[in-house]
Structure 1
Amino acid sequence: MITADNITSHEFIGLNTEIVKSTNPQVIGLNGRIINETKSMFTINTINGDKSMAKSTNSWKFSINNNDIVVDGSKITKRPFDRLGAKA
């Protein structure tokens, strides 16, 4: 089960997310479902189509069990299979 304590060691594909902080102010508020993940990028399905966004330059909000969790992208810039099961 994904919790605030272990979210950084879980799979992100399928989760809804929103950019809440970014080095690019134009992408703040971008939201949608994560459909792909690489070491440094999320591909997000938004109402305006798929967008690929760098993880490290953004802070990402996830809603888990009705709780909002904000994750600094620099903490999750690993390949998904290297991050899975790792300690947060």
Structure 2
Amino acid sequence: MITADNITAHEFIGLNTQIVESTNPQVIGLNGTIENETKSMFTINTENGKKSIAKSTSNWKFSIENNDIIVKGSKIAKRPFDRIGAKA
């Protein structure tokens, strides 16, 4: 089960997210469902189509158990299988 304490060690595909801070001001506020993940990118399905966004340049908001959790992209900019099972 994903919690605020272990979110960085879990799979992100299927989760809803929103960019709350970024080095690219044009993507702040972008939200949708994560459809794919690589070492450095999320592919997000938004209402305006799919967008690929670099993980490390943004802070990401996830809602887990009715709590908003902000995750720094630099903490999750790893290959998914290198991150899964790691300690947060």
Task: Output one character per residue of 1:17-59: Cα deviation in whole Å (capped at 9) or x when no partner.
Answer: 0000000111000000000000000000000000000000000
How far apart are 1:74 and its partner, in Å?
Answer: 0.2
1:79 correspondence with 2:79:
yes
| Helix, strand or coil at the partner of 2:71 | strand
| Helix, strand or coil at the partner of 2:17 | strand
Q: Which runs of 5+ in 1 are unaligned?
A: none
Q: TM-score, normalised by structure 2?
A: 0.99
Matched residue pairs, number? 88
The answer for the alignment partner of 1:41 in structure 2 is 41
Q: Which runs of 5+ in 2 are unaligned?
A: none
Identity of paired residues, percent? 83
Q: TM-score, normalised by structure 1?
A: 0.99
Structure 1 moving runs of 4+ over 2 Å: none
How far apart are 1:76 and its partner, in Å?
Answer: 0.3
- Within 5 Å, give how 1:1-88 maps onto structure 2: 1-88=1-88
